[in-house]
Amino acid sequence: MTISSKPVLISEDKKRVDGRKPDEMRPVRIAVGVLKNANGSALVEYGDTKVLAAVYGPREALPKYMTSPTRATLRVRYHMTSFSTSERKSPAPSRREIELSKVIREALEAIVFSSLFPRTGIDVFIEVLQADGGTRTAGLTAASLALADAGIPLKDLAIGVAVGKVNGVLVLDINELEDEYGEADMPVGIAPNLGEIVLFQLNGVLTREEVKIGLDMAFKAAESIYKTAKEALYNKYIKLVEEVKSQ
């Protein structure tokens, strides 16, 4: 099958390409503590988008001159595995990956109490296992959960979610196809308890009104992802209790 022209992104009965309603999230699955060697880790799935995050530290950071005498330095690497896309992606860090590492780092800096660990480094590795749109938002969610799992003091979790515009309709959590053929993509990072925005990007054109409505949609969605995230953090310890009990 070849797609020669633009696919129908919104059908007559307001259904999207994958059958979702405009304000419907893809199924979200979250697991915490999935890696043994990392201090903290999380696996986040938004539909077919799968992202793994691992946190190491706070640990001795080298070179020394890169460290700050007042706080821990966050070093974030967002990376797409070469098998994450349908066509092989070169594993070398691209312009896009360097940019996303930076915006995710800045989002995380807003929630980490980094002044507790001066002269150290906290390493965050975000590895995209499968890409289907919204990898930076899923990556941000995974990174903040991995930080929480590592026991690093945080103000709040950071939840990422994207709002897009396809065929003039605002849609939540856009997938790859909608991103490619849609008119706009607006990834938002939200600290739900504080009600703060920690990441905001916009690709495409939206009116003021649309940004407002889009943000409302994002905040609502972040709330539901947050619930799943909190459950995942809780489940790790419930599982631990059960394992011990069965011994």
Nearer Cβ to another protein, position 3 or 241? 241
Residue 117 beta carbon to another protein: minimum distance, rounded to whole angstroms: 6
Taking phi first (over 0 means left), then psi (-120 to 50 degrees means alpha), and beta for anything else, what does residue 60 get? beta
Residue 215 beta carbon to another protein: minimum distance, rounded to whole angstroms: 20
Distance CA 166, CA 178 (A): 7
CA distances from 180 to 7, 32, 95, 166, 217 (A): 10, 31, 18, 10, 21
Residue 243 beta carbon to another protein: minimum distance, rounded to whole angstroms: 8
Residues that bind another protein (CB under 8 A): 39-40, 57-60, 69, 111, 113, 116-120, 148-157, 191-194, 230, 233-234, 237, 240-241, 243-244
3-class secondary structure, 15: coil
Residue 52 beta carbon to another protein: minimum distance, rounded to whole angstroms: 19
Nearer Cβ to another protein, position 139 or 192? 192
Residue 25 beta carbon to another protein: minimum distance, rounded to whole angstroms: 20
Q: Which two tokens stand for residue 107?
A: 């989002």
Nearer Cβ to another protein, position 201 or 224? 224
Nearer Cβ to another protein, position 76 or 111? 111
Identify the burial level of 154 via C-beta atoms within 10 angstroms of its C-beta, where 0-12 means exposed, 13-18 middle and 19 or more buried: middle
Nearer Cβ to another protein, position 28 or 150? 150
Residue 151 beta carbon to another protein: minimum distance, rounded to whole angstroms: 3
**Bridging pattern class, strands 73-80 and 120-130:** parallel
* Continuous segment of H or E residues that includes residue 10: none
- The alpha-carbon radius of gyration of the chain (Å, integer) is 19
Nearest partner of 107 among 46, 51, 157, judged by Cα:
157
Nearer Cβ to another protein, position 111 or 162? 111
